[in-house]
Chains A and B, each alone.
Chain A
């Protein structure tokens, strides 16, 4: 299963529709929506948190959250 947490640095995926229910409202509101591209920019030195760019927002989220958000590739 592909999630944001399985992306490698610099890789881009698309958040899948079925992730809608697991994404917290706050993250949705910051632009992390199903159907949009998400790029993994940096991984913190201890492999967590992850630094992503989604819908123009640069965000740090924890691996725990990232591994619940499924993605697909074009």
Chain B
């Protein structure tokens, strides 16, 4: 027997209602993350088995308080519900509500209900009913709302089967009737005229189209024109929206008056006590900075072992492939381009996963909202919002997910400034560069007998990155003329213990998104760089012949000849030519063309600097191959001065350069996507580049 067509189900609900918990319970490991066409909002889908051979495809829509959107994420909800012709248009909607804040949750429900799509109301955290002193009359409520209600507690896996049954019942007995008729209560004539425009859409749909300027493909162009006429009177539309909201709350209040009661004496809970501690004017900040320290400490400590392991495995893999395959261009592409390229992405997974783990736990528990509350006023002086704290913390792992995390900031100017300054925070790609340069040029001494000078330098670089971010935010705040008309509101959810399942799914999903998103770019650039380094004009092709002619009658070992050939090839390759052509520009900073090559290749990802120098010096060095990169770099001489190439002035200059320069194509691409313009990434590229250049020049001059 053929399987029946799966039922398409959309999950809708306020943030922090346990909607994602329910989604995880319904779909488990079947969930996939995709993208909505045209926007970068993640689309989470999974399948769920119903009775017999019936199945459902569940889509987890972004959490929202209303279907009137105020952000990109929220607009997805409206678009998904208006476009009836879309292949993903839901057959059934499950609205997830929180028992504690039923009134506000029913507001969203009342809007969705009016779209006249079959609907189920799942009231979550039912296990809390008694403890919170809540009494609820489900039967009457079902009648009043004309909807099947299921009591669940998603975390305890209670009521999940009832949700599945309700989905099946709902589609056979269509319960699609509007709840709040908006028309006659506000302005009967106005809404009558509006309804007259189209027979294929409900009044509420038409109303949403004009209030949200969101026209689905199903609308005829003549109808669209008429709707746009309605939009002319902006103040009337706005006034009626306000009236609609009040009308809905009034109706919900009337319904809840007889069906829902809270015994206030039992309602006082832990929240107030914890809030007093977490938002305390001293302890609040102490706890926050303690948590920050813990995060940084863990990012370094816990990730070093897996990172070394990954590094080693990719080196082995490269060796293995080199031995197994016949020498040739394809082998070179794989061993020198693709494998290191993929390795360069995979190596960041431990740090990024640990960071996401902390962020997920802090968000799940409700603590993150308190940080937003605590930091908002301080951040506002720098033109940002309390919600900018999360991206700035994330930036210490990688700027790419950090830029994406700015979406929760509702003010455009605040969000833009956060996006622009986030790349100054010291991301993990800078760390290998810092580590090798510091160990080369900073003496291994102790300050005051116990404080490592090298460690102190590293810490100062982190502080420098953060301070630069704040100072540039302040300057942008004072100079940027950007229209931004939105206001700040943050829900302060109740404190909860984090659910292991939710945290794990969240970390997996975000890490995967990073690997696939940033990975593509880093891999592509690695391959391009490989091509530029292994190809060149005529002089490149001739370099082998020239060297062989040069050494023909001299007594030189074949190994040395090979190395001389390799060095000549690199010098004459496209990337060598690029390095040489920028040499005059970077000479004032103390760099030569070889460092120039490393600077250019750092655009794939900053840590490529180390690998590139390793390649350059390995093809040049006269030592055995066993010497480490560090030893080779230490041995490198500056022919002009006869001193070491990596002395203190050059090392310091490079450290400062890497602290400031915008050398990350991945971040530039993501900033372009999020700001929808090349203007802002270009400002970052050239602004940060100029700062890096000037600061490095000054550093080099001071230390020389």
Contact = CB atoms under 8 A, between A and B. Distances in A.
Interface residues of B, number: 41
Interface string A3-45: 0000000000000000011011111111101100000011011
Contact of B489 (A55, A56, A60): A60
B33 interface: no
A59 B491 contact: yes
A29 B243 CA distance: 11
Nearest to B375: A44
26 contacts: A23-B242, A25-B238, A25-B241, A25-B245, A26-B70, A27-B487, A27-B489, A29-B65, A30-B491, A31-B103, A33-B245, A42-B276, A45-B280, A45-B285, A48-B376, A49-B373, A49-B377, A49-B488, A51-B275, A55-B103, A56-B103, A57-B104, A58-B492, A60-B490, A60-B491, A61-B488
Contacts of B494: 58
A59 B377 contact: no
Given A25-B68, A56-B101, 11 more contacts: A24-B487, A28-B242, A33-B246, A45-B281, A48-B377, A49-B490, A56-B102, A57-B104, A60-B369, A60-B373, A64-B487
Given A45-B281, A60-B369, A62-B487, A30 B104 contact: yes
A44 B374 contact: yes
A65 B101 CA distance: 23
A1 interface: no
A26 B245 CA distance: 10
A29 to B, nearest CB: 4
Contacts of B284: 45
B493 A62 contact: no
Contacts of B487: 24, 26-27, 61-62, 64-65
A50 B280 CA distance: 13
B492 A25 contact: no
B65 A60 contact: no
Prevailing SS type, chain B contact patch:
helix
Given A31-B104, A57-B491, A60-B489, A47 B377 contact: yes
A31 B249 CA distance: 8
B112 to A, nearest CB: 13
A56 B279 contact: no
A41 B104 contact: no
A42 B271 CA distance: 12
Interface in B358-388: 369, 372-374, 376-378, 386
Given A26-B66, A46-B377, A60 B245 contact: no
Contact of A20 (B242, B279, B377, B492): B242
Contacts of B68: 25-26, 29
A57 B377 contact: no
Tier of interface size on chain A: 20 to 34
B107 interface: yes
Given A28-B246, A45-B285, A60-B372, A55 B104 contact: yes
Interface in B457-508: 487-494
Given A49-B488, A51-B279, A25 B242 contact: yes
B275 A42 contact: yes
Interface string B69-101: 010000000000000000000000000000011
Nearest to B107: A29
A47 B279 CA distance: 12
A46 B386 CA distance: 13
A27 B487 CA distance: 10
A46 B248 CA distance: 36
B449 interface: no
A29 B244 CA distance: 10
Nearest to B66: A29
B272 interface: yes
Contacts of B102: 56
B493 A51 contact: no
Contacts of A29: 65-66, 68, 107, 245
A46 to B, nearest CB: 4
A41 B487 CA distance: 20
Contacts of B103: 31, 55-56
A62 B488 CA distance: 6
A29 B104 CA distance: 8
Contacts of A23: 242
A46 B376 CA distance: 9
A24 B159 CA distance: 37
Q: Which of A20, A23, A41, A58 has the most CB of B within 10 A?
A: A58
A2 B5 CA distance: 59
A63 to B, nearest CB: 9
Contact of A45 (B70, B374, B490): B374
A8 B487 CA distance: 23
Nearest to B105: A56
A59 B102 CA distance: 16
Given A30-B489, A31-B107, A44-B374, A57 B245 contact: no
Given A26-B65, A55-B104, A42 B279 contact: yes
Contacts of B374: 44-45
Contacts of B281: 45
B246 A56 contact: no
